[in-house]
Amino acid sequence: MTIRATHELHSRRFSRNRGVAILLVSFIAVVFGLTVVKVQHVGATQGFDHVLRPEMLAPDGTAVAE
Amino acid sequence: MSDVSYNQSPEAEFGDYVELMKPRVMTLVVFTALVALLVAPGGLHPVVGASAILFIALGAGASGALNMWYDADIDAVMRRTANRPVPAGRVRPDEALAIGIALSGIAVVMLWLATNWVAAGLLAFTIFFYAVIYTMWLKRATPQNIVIGGAAGAFPPMIGWAAVTGGVSLESVLMFALIFMWTPPHFWALALFMRSDYDDAGVPMLTVTHGRPATRRQILVYTLLLFPIAPALALMPVGGPISLALALGLNLWFLRGAWEIWRRDEVIAEADNYAVEKRFFKFSLAYVFVLFAGLLADHLAWGLF
């Protein structure tokens, strides 16, 4: 036997679940938007992984131990 | 058989959680913070500014939820607040507490990431001040509760200002002072015509502890203290002719209302069902909104040239 009637309790739960879902999606949108804006305004960035960085070299061109 | 174990505590709808954030108090918070953020020198990227306002509002909502968690016993007694989600049983007290704490943390951290630590620190302090110092301590301990509680409502423009400038300045202190001095007359007028509500709840409202004539006198005193602040703010670089004209006009109107309240007594007030007090209360709401709108108008009008 399947119960098909929607109890008032279910509409309350649905209202809550839908609200939380919308909130979470909006929060993701806000964080994403903030990230895009911040990255755009921070200026040129440099990756530090396994790449020779010219400003780390000594004046005579030799590498300096970190 | 269909309604098993459901009658004692109906589950909350989403709207009940929204109500926990005190959306009506939030309008003043959002508006004053937004104006301060817009008129502050420097300016923010619109996305950053909008996020800052969002998280300031979220922090205010979180402190509202904490207030409703702690004050459920008082709220249940007062007619005006008996139908709030916690005293009405729609939201469980521990839920309100958890939501309040979680949202406070999210709001402060996100405001920090979006803007700077000064704004985030001010927001954290505001939440602490409202939830702990005001709600848990002073509200039940002293008839000056409204005066001190007003500080919590006065912080949002300072936070908005700090979000842009990263600091505190004379302008933002004056915005704080404006709301701080405005809160006591605003709330005491409400207390005068809400009659016995606070008596029943045992909250030491000035009307209960020192009587109604003293409350009427205090409304006048704080209105006089409020008087110089709006014109001073209008004379700052953030102000302008529009703000100054509004400040002077609204001040005279406000003072006249306070004067009338001071000269009346309960017999006269009951005869016309507190018409003057109710009018003063409504006008006091407009007072803050219009003054901040004036700052914004000056900013838009003269900032363009």
B85-133 confidence digits (pLDDT tens)? 999 888 899 999 999 999 999 999 999 999 999 999 999 999 999 999 9
Q: Tell me if chain A has a CB within 8 Å of the CB of B170.
A: no
pLDDT for the residue numbered B5: 45
Q: Span B47-69, mean pLDDT?
A: 94
Q: Span B265-292, mean pLDDT?
A: 84
Q: pLDDT confidence of B6, banded at 50, 70, 90?
A: very low
Q: Span B143-153, mean pLDDT?
A: 85
pLDDT for the residue numbered A62: 73
pTM, entire model: 0.85
CB B67 within 8 A of CB B191: no
Token pair of B19 as six digits:
């109500």
Query: Looking at beta carbons, which residues of chain A come within 8 Å of B90?
Result: none
Query: Looking at beta carbons, which residues of chain B come within 8 Å of A21?
Result: none
Q: Span B76-88, mean pLDDT?
A: 86
End-to-end CA distance of chain A: 73
pLDDT for the residue numbered B274: 77
Q: Tell me if chain A has a CB within 8 Å of the CB of B7.
A: no
The chain-wide mean pLDDT, for chain B, equals 87
Q: Span B217-229, mean pLDDT?
A: 90
Query: Looking at beta carbons, which residues of chain A come within 8 Å of B13?
Result: 12, 15-16
pLDDT for the residue numbered B3: 47
pLDDT for the residue numbered B2: 47
Contact A18 B17 (CB under 8 A): no
Q: pLDDT confidence of A43, banded at 50, 70, 90?
A: low
Q: Span A27-54, mean pLDDT?
A: 81
Token pair of A63 as six digits:
């590498």
Lowest mean pLDDT among A26-30, B75-79, B183-187: B75-79
pLDDT for the residue numbered B61: 94
| pLDDT at position B186 over 80 | yes
pLDDT in tens, B53-63: 999 999 999 99
**Residue in A7, A19, A37 nearest the CB of B14:** A19
Q: pLDDT confidence of A63, banded at 50, 70, 90?
A: low
Contact A15 B13 (CB under 8 A): yes
Interface test with B, best of A22, A30, A36 (most B CBs within 10 A): A30
**Residue in A12, A33, A41 nearest the CB of B13:** A12
Lowest mean pLDDT among A29-43, A46-60, B113-127: A46-60
Q: What's the CA gap between B175 and B163, in Å, rounded?
A: 15
Farthest CA pair distance, chain A: 85
Report which of B118, B125, B119 is spatially closest to residue B55, judged by C-alpha positions.
B119
Q: pLDDT confidence of B196, banded at 50, 70, 90?
A: low
